[in-house]
């Protein structure tokens, strides 16, 4: 198995992942065990942090977290062991590290299907090479949304705040 891969900027470490993917969850666990962070931040809605942390504490049992959009339409989040974000939250709880959900809660976020390399290849080529292939594929398709810019700025601000405390 290739070495764990992460992106580092000062005291921030980022693991590029795809939701609901076992290979990515395994990479998160390897990086977590290598770095042993005192704080973990994940791309899940900040407004649902308590529910998400509770669901992660129940792993390996699968949970379904329910919330509602402003128009009362239900949204379901599956909390399962093969999701890298929930693995990060679970690992943090197991080690006594603080954990935060730092994403902006957006109503009516569109479902986007991306053409990505098969994540199983991570076992052979490693996450770094996979990440490079993924970014090449992402450049070819322009799925960037104004929601994404708003979310990314929000998460960057939250990461900056957390980096001052941890």
Structure confidence at residue 58 (pLDDT):
95
Interval 29-53 mean pLDDT: 96
Q: Greater confidence, 54 or 108? A: 54
How big is the CA angle at 144 (ends 143 and 147), to the nearest 5 degrees?
A: 125
Structure confidence at residue 2 (pLDDT):
74
Structure confidence at residue 93 (pLDDT):
96
Average confidence score pLDDT of the chain: 90
Q: Greater confidence, 139 or 164? A: 164
Segment 83-100, tens digit of pLDDT: 999 999 999 999 999 999
Structure confidence at residue 113 (pLDDT):
72
Distances (CA, A) of 32 to 45, 74, 94: 21, 32, 11
Centroid of chain to Cα 1: 22
Task: Assess whether pLDDT exceeds 80 at residue 118.
Answer: yes
Q: Greater confidence, 3 or 113? A: 3
């Amino acid at each position: 198995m290739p070495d764990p891969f992460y992106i580092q900027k000062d005291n921030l470490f980022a693991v590029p992942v795809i939701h609901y993917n076992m290979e990515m969850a395994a990479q998160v666990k390897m990086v977590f065990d290598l770095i042993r962070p005192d704080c973990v931040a994940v791309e899940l809605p900040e407004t649902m942090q308590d529910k998400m942390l509770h669901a992660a504490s129940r792993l390996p049992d699968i949970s379904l977290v329910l919330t509602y959009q402003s128009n009362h339409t239900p949204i379901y989040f599956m909390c399962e062991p093969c999701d890298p974000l929930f693995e990060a939250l679970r690992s943090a709880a197991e080690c006594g590290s603080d954990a935060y959900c730092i994403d902006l809660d957006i109503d009516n976020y569109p479902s986007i299907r991306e053409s990505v390399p098969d994540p199983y290849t991570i076992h052979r080529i490693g996450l770094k090479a996979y990440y490079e292939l993924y970014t090449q594929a992402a450049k070819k398709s322009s799925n960037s949304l104004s929601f994404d810019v708003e979310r990314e700025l929000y998460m960057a601000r939250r990461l900056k705040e957390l980096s001052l405390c941890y």
